[in-house]
Amino acid sequence: MRLALISDIHGNLPALKAVISSIAEERADSVVCLGDIVGYGARPNECIELLAGERIPCIMGNHDAAVLGRLSLSMMSSHARTAAEWTINKLNIVNQEFLRELPLSLEIESVLCVHSSPNEPEQWRYIFNAPDAQVAFRSFSQPICFFGHTHYPITFTNLEDGRRLINVGSVGQPRDRNPRACYGIYDTVSKDFRWVRVEYPFTEAAKQIVDAGLPSYLAQRLATGM
């Protein structure tokens, strides 16, 4: 099975549409979304509705949890908090319910999917480096775990047993100095994984952010992938 893994969409509808087209071209058999559907971007309702319409299984991210009141806004950076407050006022009831039903992890064909870390996912820990990954490797047994949260595509391999922790990158707010939307394709038979980068009209997403009255920094960073 060819599995597409998308994460950290953050209300960026032009990026999500481009990625869903790319996944269709890749002929993936299944898609999983690793969370942070909302926050930062200006189209949270539309992104949820697109994922729900495509029947894509999703898990909950920290920004999704924040707009549900499950994570204190004081734990967030000022731009993230401003965007979360804006999103809370924008989300309709149906889409709030969609987010409320999301699990913190899911497993598909021995593949573990989480948003932040398999180690106490509700604590929203970050896996930035090898020491972080070592802690995470102790908390799951599957051969592979996909995650998001840092918006930085990277693979960590456990040298003792070959297990992998792979960050699939961010659809809607890449932070690796590459503005193109990022997602992953994993073949459950060959065990091969690769990232796919997708051009999308980031000026359109940036304009939506500015027009919504969200912080202009959130629009500017889309052009640089920072």
R_g over Cα of the chain: 16
**Shortest distance, CB of residue 115 to Zn ion, whole angstroms?**
8
CA distance 88 to 147: 25
Minimum separation from the CB atom of position 127 to Zn ion (A): 13
Nearest residue to 29 (alpha-carbon basis) of 3, 57, 55, 56: 3
Q: Nearest residue by C-beta to Zn ion? A: 36
Which residue lies nearer to Zn ion by CB, 124 or 156? 124
* CB 214 within 8 Å of CB 82: yes
| In the complex, minimum distance from the CB of residue 91 to Zn ion, in angstroms, rounded to a whole number | 17
Q: Tell me how far, at minimum, the Cβ of 162 lies from Zn ion, in Å.
A: 28
8 vs 176, beta carbon nearer Zn ion: 8
Closer residue to Zn ion (CB): 27 or 72: 72
Least distance from Zn ion to the Cβ atom of residue 49, Å: 19
Distances 153 to 12, 109, 136, 149, 182 between C-alpha atoms, Å: 18, 22, 16, 10, 8
Find how far residue 165's CA is from the centre of its chain: 15
Closer of 36 and 176 to Zn ion (Cβ): 36
Least gap, CB of 172 to Zn ion (angstroms): 8
Q: Which residue, 29 or 171, has its beta carbon nearer to Zn ion? A: 171
CA 207 to each of CA 36, 88, 204, 213, 217: distance values in angstroms, whole numbers, following the listed order: 21, 20, 5, 10, 12
Residues that bind Zn ion (CB under 5 A): 8, 36
Least separation in angstroms between CB 200 and Zn ion:
17
CA dihedral 129, 134, 140, 141 (to 10 degrees): 120
Contacts of 198 (CB under 8 A, 6+ apart): 15, 18, 19, 22, 180, 181, 182, 183
Backbone dihedral angles phi then psi of residue 81, each to the nearest 5 degrees:
-65, -45
Tokens standing for 146? 């996909």
Closer by beta carbon to Zn ion, 119 or else 157: 119
Of 60 and 133, nearer to Zn ion (C-beta) is 60
